[in-house]
Amino acid sequence: MLTNASFSHQVSEDIEPADAADGSLLPTNERFMAAAVMSAMSGVNLNEEGGPFGASIVRDGVLICSAHNTFFSDCDPTCHAEMNAIRLAMRRLETHDLSDCVIYSSFEPCPMCWGAIVSSGMKQLYIGLDRFTAAKNGVDYLSFYDAILPHTKGSNFPPMTRVNPPSFYEDKRIISMLSSPDHCIIVNKDNDILANSDSPAIDDFTDPVDTSMVRTIRLACRSINSPYLHGCRIYTLVIQADVESHAACLWACAESLHYCTEASPGSK
């Protein structure tokens, strides 16, 4: 089962090896894990620079979809293998509830993907390599767990500043535009607005797994054709962002995340 402390490669007792007259088929779990790995390798072979990350989602013993990391090819910091697989599964099954599905991942998911897995309702995760083994083999994202999970120490997360009341003009201008608890605005270093969760353009991102902040990050990255938001600031009225949103900010390399505990008197 999923926990917020660690993941382990689990094998359920109620999943039996597949029947095969010649004994050539892999056991069920290994076959679905192989599908995740093959998807990861397809991304590597296409030179998409997303790394060896793949994921598969299964329901009632049937493979629903597989996906790999398209972080760079899509210029989207949220397009990790697990996120892509969840979005694809939701579209194919026409539901945001994946509680009757399980997910297989070539590597232990990062906190952003972990948050998406929990949000989707899935309660069973199978992994190929845990994050510690992955780090020993050159795939090191341990610092992301240090920055996100409360049971770890240390942080390289973008500085999170509570801005209330605003201390300078540009903050006041942006905060005055925030109108609802999940409203999010992203500005660049020149204080130009790159993305606004109230914008009609946000409708391009309708995946149920995406939070308002995640959708706004995706829109901002698309607007500058880059998976990174270097020098950009994120403003939101959310008192405390969820794990998925927090980690998306980290992957996007935003300069800072501002929690505005109250809207400006000039807001709607």
Report, as residue numbers or ranges, the catalytic residues.
Answer: 82
| Contact present, 242 and 259 (Cβ < 8 Å) | no
Residue 128 has which token pair? 């190929």
Half-sphere exposure of 162 (CA within 13 A, CB side): 7
Q: Which residues pair with 103 in a beta bridge?
A: 57, 125
| Contact present, 97 and 109 (Cβ < 8 Å) | no
User: DSSP letter at 242?
Assistant: -
| Contact present, 127 and 7 (Cβ < 8 Å) | yes
User: DSSP letter at 108?
Assistant: P
Strand, coil or helix: 100: coil
| Contact present, 164 and 260 (Cβ < 8 Å) | yes
Neighbour-count burial for 115-129, b at 16+ CB within 10 Å, e otherwise = bbbbbbebeebbbbb
**Angle (CA) 252 203 93, round 5°:** 90
| Contact present, 228 and 259 (Cβ < 8 Å) | no
The number of beta carbons lying within 10 Å of the beta carbon of residue 2 is: 16
